[in-house]
Chain A
Amino acid sequence: MALRSQSTYDLLREHGVDRRTFLDYCVKLTATMGLGTALIPRVVSALETKPRLPVIWLHGLECTCCSESFIRSSHPIAQDIVLNMISLDYDDTLQAAAGEQVEEIRRKVMKDYKGQYLLAVEGNASTKDDGVYCTVGGDSFLNILKETAADAKAIVAWGSCASHGCVQNAKPNPTGAEPVKKLISGKAIINVPGCPPIAEVMTGVLAYVLTFDQIPELDRVGRPKMFYGQRIHDKCYRRPFFDAGQFVEAWDDEGAKKGWCLYKMGCRGPTTYNSCSTFKWNNGVSFPIGSGHGCIGCSEENFWDNGPFYERLTSIPVPGIDSTPDNVGKTLSVLTGVGIGAHMITQAVQRRNKPADDDKADTSEKE
């Protein structure tokens, strides 16, 4: 199997895509990656000249929600990625072949593209009892992960399972499930958390790696800053209601019908770093808060153990604390908690000082 020499643009052109469409596609892609218009020429140039990247996509202890999210991507669409941008050589969810034939492919890609293939991991590995809680082709997923990671160019850890551990890693973690970063060392690992991650974030990360041939700038827990740099709360369209002290107090109440802030219903927006409130989900249709339910913080480490989900934030441990050296984020999170506590006290005092009727539904009131 020879290395491909065709670039993405070559393939698109041969598929009958004209240059105008190609450039339009590049513009959208650049926007998806959160890059300025000045970088469009670089994206165009990269897609004109770079060969398709071989990808091995492994599935461990998981629920496949990351794959499902991936195929919901609107720009680029999944078909463009699978046919034109990467060479998805191994993915047990979509693969035509099965059994021995599919394991053959994995070994062949590892050999033919040594040091050149991207390893995408969905799910994580059981580390207890020789890894018997997840086996593929008769071998433990733990062994397969280590074996496949050894010669990978870089690793993309899809979703909260691969990035942080997610639901099977929640207490008491019966199978000893551990995320990729705890099992693999000496490799560049891009963590793309979320349960699942937003589709366009997934494709945006891949497109970035392909376009610039480098891993994106990462934060203290290995997440691309371009998608996980801000808290959902920072950009939430309901933030003005938070600032104005207008909250949903019970499900389906007047505040819920007016779309007020969900903080009192347990919303984790103030401590969750993700792009939900900017890109939104499923091509911008909505996001959890937009549809009336608080954020459950699914892209944060240990979010399953920071519940109950409907308890407001001040009473829970501050999430996001990890063994990584960056204490800035930690401090920020603590300050957020303190800030919210102070805000609530101010608001409670204000409420006590005004007539009960005003309390109900006066949207014009400001602090």
Chain B
Amino acid sequence: MATRVVVDPITRIEGHLRVEAMLDGGNKIQDAMSSGTMWRGIEVILQGRDPRDAWAFCERICGVCTTVHALASVRCVENSLGIQVPKNADIIRNIMFLTQMVQDHVIHFYHLHALDWVDVVSALKADPAATAALAQKVSPHWPLATEGYFRDTAGTLKKFVDSGQLGIFQNAYWGHPAYKLPPEANLMAVAHYLEALKWQKEIAKIHTVFGGKNPHPNYLVGGMASAISLQSDNAINMERLNLVSGLIDGALDIVENLYIPDLLAVASFYPEWTTYGGGLGNYMVYGDLPQNGIGDVSKFRFPRGVILNKNLAEVLPLDLADPGQIQEEISHSWYQYPDGKTSLHPWEGVTEAKYTGPKPPYKQLDENGGYSWLKAPRWKGNAMEVGPLARMLVGFASGRTDFKEVVTAALGKLKVGPAALFSTLGRTAARGLETQLAVHWLRDEYNNLIANLKAGDSAVADTRFWNPDTWKPESRGFGFTEAPRGALCHWINIKNGKIANYQIVVPSTWNASPKDGKGQHGAYEAALIGTPMADPKRPVEILRTIHSFDPCLACASHVIGPDGETLAEVVVR
């Protein structure tokens, strides 16, 4: 008799996600359902508005991966209007993109994912001297690795626990047999949880310099609003650039001397997790970080491509404008398409919300019917995984030396082969390795900005098409990026100066998608299947695999089609 494990809410993610897993007699997951339980309808709200405002609405899809929707949106409008932004704008956007990626990945590792591997209560048993020795061995260049430092941290933790109020740490799974770290490694990780929390607010200041605030910095159709003038005390000048440069140095230190050493140290205790959680084996990357304008895909730092069935020998091409490639399916989603259609390209898509789930409060969803506010996007009919693992694999398989170097070094340190990447731990490791690339690219992009300024180019915006009078009566376009969680694309139709259609397909919709009409699972579901659970009442294993994707459900479940007049229809069963 199958047991059904329901985890709702999945915590330590952005947004609202529910997982239902069906276990066999041996407590191994044999089927799984991933359900997005929130929907806001932002595309409906965008109808009829000024396309130049769209970035601000889209940015509010998510405050964790803040900026990524704003970037995709301005690119989408620029693509539609035929605007090519100045080189400095591309570089500043790349700097903001990389800042976001580094900050987001570090927060994910320490504050959203680490507690799946780190037992906070076990850290109380650690010996501070032995912890210091471990920390010095793991990261010789990180200065906060003394016995006194760890004694203080252990003291802080002990008093906190003794106060009887564990706050966010209460009622968790401490002592669960799936936790494998020795007390010293746990204490080190707890100390670094706090260090990373202090640091994350620093790197965000790069966004504040160029975008005025973080979260939700400002973008601009046509470039950036932050004018550069080296002769002004009221624009981007040497003082501002020095601030950015110093913050990049701090980020390099954190990534190289804290995050990567901790990641490899923790991973080395969980070799079995290189065999669980692989899932689909299909990976997709749109590519990003233009070096010669967004139109020149061949010069992206993140190369574009698709890998099917874990076949690293072949990277397939991808076309976002081809209606035959990306389609959204709704067989198990709370939507309906007209004329009995089940699959549409985003440019042509029509969606009506149609809730067919149980009336809240409910106990369980129906795997044979609709069970999610997420649609099921598919590439040429295939379910795909997007995100850091996809990007590292496509970079690696494309033969890029920078990707090969970091991947090979990490696999060597963990003494595992490339097949280990197709797993929960592989996904978590790929995110770290990507951060390593990203933080060095951040320095490179800063240097590019300085070089371009030296060459006498200080332009940040092209305003020739700012005035709607210069626009064609009708146009359409798309804008893509590689968000921290994966491939993201916005599609727009502009008519008479207003948004006629707006459609967004986001990374977590790919990863958290429900089944399609052919019964193909989404990436989360596929990754959960086959994982054994030690104690079904305390679902640490489910959290590990789901968190390895870094879910962002506010992004995933905002989705509705371009047809603004349609209203939700609710059928409560």
Contact = CB atoms under 8 A, between A and B. Distances in A.
A183 interface: no
Interface in B232-256: 232-235, 243
B40 A308 contact: no
A309 B53 contact: yes
Given A73-B201, A102-B9, A195-B60, A175 B572 contact: no
Contact of A170 (B45, B155, B200, B233): B45
Given A71-B197, A129-B355, A134-B37, A293 B7 contact: no
Interface string A1-39: 110101000010011100000000000000000000000
Most chain B Cβ neighbours within 10 Å, of A1, A136, A286: A286
Interface stretch (B165-173, B262-270, B279-287): B165-173
B463 A252 contact: yes
Contacts of A68: 63-64, 66, 215
Interface stretch (B223-231, B385-393, B439-447): B223-231
Given A134-B37, A138-B360, A166 B223 contact: no
B311 interface: no
A140 interface: yes
B172 to A, nearest CB: 4
Interface residues of B, number: 108
Contacts, number: 333
A291 B218 contact: yes
Contacts of A101: 171-173, 538
A251 B201 contact: no
B397 interface: no
Given A98-B543, A281-B213, A307 B53 contact: yes
Given A99-B7, A101-B172, A304-B57, A251 B461 contact: yes
Contact of A292 (B12, B168, B225, B560): B225
Interface in B187-203: 194, 197-198, 200-201
Given A94-B12, A293-B226, A62 B554 contact: yes
Contacts of B570: 129-130, 132
B355 A102 contact: no
A293 B225 contact: yes
A135 B229 CA distance: 49
A296 interface: yes
A327 interface: no
Interface stretch (A78-86, A213-221, A339-347): A78-86
**Max chain A CB contacts within 10 Å: which of B8, B18, B120, B554?**
B8
Contacts of B232: 257-259
Interface string B11-23: 1111110100000
Given A11-B159, A79-B197, A132-B357, 10 more contacts: A4-B164, A72-B201, A88-B168, A95-B168, A96-B172, A167-B57, A250-B463, A298-B216, A309-B56, A310-B53
Interface of B: 6-16, 18, 37-42, 44-45, 49-50, 52-53, 56-57, 60-64, 66, 111, 115, 120, 152, 155-156, 159-160, 163-165, 167-173, 194, 197-198, 200-201, 204-205, 207-218, 220, 222-229, 232-235, 243, 353, 355, 357, 359-363, 373, 458-461, 463, 466, 538-539, 543, 554, 560, 564, 567-568, 570, 572
29 contacts: A1-B164, A11-B163, A52-B163, A65-B62, A69-B215, A72-B214, A95-B11, A96-B170, A102-B171, A103-B9, A130-B570, A133-B568, A134-B16, A134-B39, A136-B8, A137-B8, A138-B6, A139-B360, A251-B222, A251-B461, A251-B466, A252-B223, A252-B460, A259-B227, A281-B214, A282-B205, A291-B212, A293-B212, A296-B56
